[in-house]
């Protein structure tokens, strides 16, 4: 694609805009967490008040649950936007993937696409660079959602499976399978089967992150994109 083409310029503009948004995330997350802290504190005070109707106490408890969940999502989003740190850490893979899915559930609802999570590996732990792995999962989810955009009965299924020394995260979508001739090319930079409105970088970056973890990212017609990582 010509660097001076309208499509390439628009792609570069989107990258710049996304970078500017990322710069704002941490400061905004700080303010949101302060507000959530106030909401949580007042909800807890209501719960401790004597002689309140049971329904009121229950609603205050639900406010507290919602505030804590919102704070966790904001923290996860802030972790993504923060400047990369070199540290690897131990992660519960099921909980980690679940938090990534929570960040995209709204997008799936807006697109009228189902999102299923088949959690089969329980408390399996991996050693990973959390920030990079977060981005890999978000790239794969975005790719799957784009593949079913505007289709009827759209569905994306995320499946965790475990073997002796690795876990796999399969992200399947109900869209048409990738043509056999393109199943390796989809991981090439700027290659896309979705038209000029897409950069064609998400799968490339996700595979690079997998390789950084001594893992792999492949495509399978029945399983979708399959991310394999070493497990502890």
pTM: 0.68
Distance of CA 168 to the CA centre of its chain: 16
| Domain at 89-230, CATH class | alpha beta
Could you list the pLDDT tens digit for every one of the 232 residues in the chain?
A: 445 666 666 666 666 566 556 656 666 776 777 788 888 888 888 888 888 888 888 888 888 888 877 777 776 666 655 555 567 888 889 988 988 888 888 888 888 999 999 876 667 888 898 888 988 998 899 889 988 887 888 999 999 988 888 899 999 999 888 888 888 888 887 777 766 556 677 888 899 889 989 999 999 999 999 999 988 7
CA 26 to chain centre: 18
Q: How far, in Å, are 67, 162, 174, 223, 231 from residue 169 at the CA level?
A: 29, 9, 17, 10, 12
Residue 1 is predicted with a pLDDT of 46
Per-residue pLDDT, 22: 61
Number of CB atoms found within 10 A of residue 45's CB: 10
d(CA 89, CA 100): 17
pLDDT at 223: 93
Output the six-digit token pair for 200.
Answer: 């064609």
Instruction: Determine contact, residues 47/64, Cβ cutoff 8 Å.
Output: yes
């Amino acid at each position: 694609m010509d660097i001076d083409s309208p499509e390439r310029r628009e792609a570069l503009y989107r990258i710049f805009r996304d970078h500017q948004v990322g710069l704002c995330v941490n400061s905004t997350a700080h303010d949101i967490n302060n507000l959530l802290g106030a909401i949580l504190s007042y909800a807890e005070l209501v719960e401790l008040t004597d002689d309140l109707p049971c329904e009121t106490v229950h609603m205050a408890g639900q406010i507290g649950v919602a505030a804590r969940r919102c704070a966790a999502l904001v923290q996860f989003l802030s972790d993504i936007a923060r400047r990369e740190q070199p540290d690897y850490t131990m992660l519960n893979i099921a909980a980690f993937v679940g938090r990534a899915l929570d960040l995209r559930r709204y997008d799936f609802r807006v697109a009228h696409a189902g999102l299923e999570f088949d959690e089969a590996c329980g408390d399996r732990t991996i050693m990973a660079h959390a920030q990079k792995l977060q981005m890999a999962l978000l790239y794969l989810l975005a790719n799957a959602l784009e593949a079913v955009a505007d289709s009827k009965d759209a569905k994306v299924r995320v499946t965790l499976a475990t073997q002796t020394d690795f876990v796999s995260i399969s992200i399947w979508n109900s869209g048409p399978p990738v043509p056999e001739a393109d199943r390796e090319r989809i991981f090439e930079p700027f290659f896309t089967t979705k038209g000029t409105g897409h950069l064609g970088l998400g799968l490339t970056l996700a595979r690079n992150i997998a390789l950084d973890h001594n893992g792999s990212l492949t495509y399978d017609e029945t399983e979708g994109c399959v991310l394999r990582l070493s497990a502890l």
